[in-house]
């Protein structure tokens, strides 16, 4: 047996050990969650027109926006059909949010932070401290101007993100873009696969999801605790992806791979299988759960946005956004 083969075998054992350390856990049922299959009641919003819509946002007029894996920004006016709005190209468009001036902010995993308007699109940020942003993921803008967006890893990108999970080290960070100066800075460093980002109702703190630690962090932006970071919610029944503020001040969190007693599902089959979203109050307590236990309609969910009594669900394995009537169907 060659030295190269021995080395590869050693690396495989090390990677397996790392995976077991990261993922071995109790199941959602063991954590006290019962399946309800409420997500099987979704209406397929934009069915056939939206290619793997990762995220969704809505403006003050009720116009919906999403990005798809075929490189399009698509939108739907309140009383109109879905339409192709702007073609950005590529297959790396991820998180979306409305800017304070009514335009669209997008994280392109490969390029960085983008702003889109009727006139076209502009790359706002592609580097920090002179180095390229490798994996821009989700974004939110505060009312006083700063734009916060997650950079999943400084070492790996969208095409090889699984290596970041296997390595199990905190390569991620939360970046802050100043729209007045055009400067991008590192706001939080050494995060473990930071994904979704959301501001609280008072915007005195933000929440950032650490997907494969199955938790979300709370970082204070104002008040006596300004600058402090603590665990907001821990031991989630799945890896938190995107997070959105709900009208009542709580948060909707989309969960990716549900926790199991092993790890091969993630490596061999990806994150598909069973969908779940949870609603968490301002104190980090889960107050509601919705799921599709068999993946019959939604195999997994990447984002959950509440608007006018409905929950809109992004995902990366279908051609629609799920729309669930929260008052009627659950």
Both tokens of residue 236?
């989630």
pLDDT digits (tens, 9 = 90+) for 174-209: 999 999 999 999 999 999 999 999 999 999 999 999
Q: Looking at the predicted structure, is the pLDDT value of residue 63 above 80?
A: yes
Lowest mean pLDDT among 68-77, 184-193, 259-268: 259-268
> Would you place residue 22 in the very low, low, confident or very high pLDDT band (cuts 50, 70, 90)?
very low
More confident residue, 15 or 125: 125
Domain 3-325 has CATH 3.90.226.10: no
CB atoms within 10 A of CB 48: 10
Lowest mean pLDDT among 42-56, 85-99, 239-253, 266-280: 266-280
Contact 62, 105 (CB under 8 A): no
> Which of 18, 8, 17 is CA-nearest to residue 192?
18
Q: What pLDDT is attached to residue 85?
A: 98
pLDDT digits (tens, 9 = 90+) for 299-310: 989 999 999 999
pLDDT digits (tens, 9 = 90+) for 31-41: 567 889 999 99
Q: What pLDDT is attached to residue 301?
A: 95
Q: Looking at the predicted structure, is the pLDDT value of residue 321 above 60?
A: yes
Question: What's the maximum distance between 2 C-alpha atoms anywhere in the chain?
Answer: 67
> Would you place residue 273 in the very low, low, confident or very high pLDDT band (cuts 50, 70, 90)?
confident
Give CA–CA dist 318/34, Å, rounded.
25
DSSP for 189-223, please give it: EEESSEEEEEE-TTSSEEEEEEGGGTEEEEEE-SS
Contact 85, 109 (CB under 8 A): no
In the chain, what percentage of residues exceed pLDDT 90? 79
Q: Tokens 């199990």 map to which residue?
A: 168
- Report, in angstroms and rounded to the nearest whole number, the Rg of the chain calculated over CA atoms: 19
Both tokens of residue 59?
């403006």
Q: What angle do CA 320, 324, 330 make, to 5 degrees?
A: 150
SS3 163: helix
Q: What pLDDT is attached to residue 270?
A: 52
Strands 310-314 and 64-67: unpaired
> Would you place residue 7 in the very low, low, confident or very high pLDDT band (cuts 50, 70, 90)?
very low
Q: What pLDDT is attached to residue 319?
A: 96
Both tokens of residue 328?
């009627």
Q: What pLDDT is attached to residue 15?
A: 43
Q: Looking at the predicted structure, is the pLDDT value of residue 20 above 90?
A: no
> Residues 6 or more apart from 17 whose CB is under 8 A from it?
none
> Would you place residue 274 in the very low, low, confident or very high pLDDT band (cuts 50, 70, 90)?
confident
């Amino acid at each position: 047996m060659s030295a190269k083969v021995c080395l590869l075998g050693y690396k495989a054992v090390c990677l397996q050990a790392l995976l077991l350390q990261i993922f071995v856990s109790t199941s959602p049922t063991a954590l006290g969650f019962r399946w309800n299959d409420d997500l099987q009641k979704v209406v397929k919003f934009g069915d056939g027109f939206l290619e793997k819509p990762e995220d969704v946002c809505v403006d003050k007029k009720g116009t919906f926006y999403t990005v798809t894996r075929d490189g399009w920004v698509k939108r739907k006016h309140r009383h109109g059909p879905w339409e192709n709005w702007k073609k950005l190209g590529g297959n790396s468009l991820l998180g979306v949010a409305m800017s304070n001036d009514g335009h669209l902010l997008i994280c392109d995993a490969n390029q960085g932070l983008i702003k889109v308007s009727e006139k076209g699109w502009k790359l706002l940020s592609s580097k920090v401290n002179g180095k390229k942003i490798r994996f821009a993921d989700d974004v939110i803008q505060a009312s006083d101007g700063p734009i916060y967006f997650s950079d999943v890893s400084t070492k790996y990108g969208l095409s090889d993100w699984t290596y970041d999970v296997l390595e199990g080290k905190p390569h991620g960070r939360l970046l802050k873009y100043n729209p007045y100066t055009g400067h991008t800075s590192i706001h939080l460093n050494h995060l473990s696969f930071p994904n979704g980002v959301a501001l609280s109702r008072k915007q005195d703190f933000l929440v950032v999801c650490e997907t494969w630690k199955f938790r979300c962090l709370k970082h204070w932006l104002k008040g006596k605790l300004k600058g402090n970071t603590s665990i907001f919610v821990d031991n989630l029944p799945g890896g938190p992806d995107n997070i959105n503020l709900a009208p009542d001040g709580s948060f909707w969190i989309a969960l990716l791979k549900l926790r199991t007693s092993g790890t091969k599902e993630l490596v061999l089959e990806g994150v598909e299988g069973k969908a779940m979203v949870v609603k968490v109050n301002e104190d980090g307590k889960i107050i509601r759960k919705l799921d599709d236990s068999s993946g019959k309609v939604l195999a997994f969910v990447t984002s959950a946005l509440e608007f006018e009594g409905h929950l809109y669900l992004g995902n990366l394995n279908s051609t629609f956004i799920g729309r669930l009537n929260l008052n009627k169907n659950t």
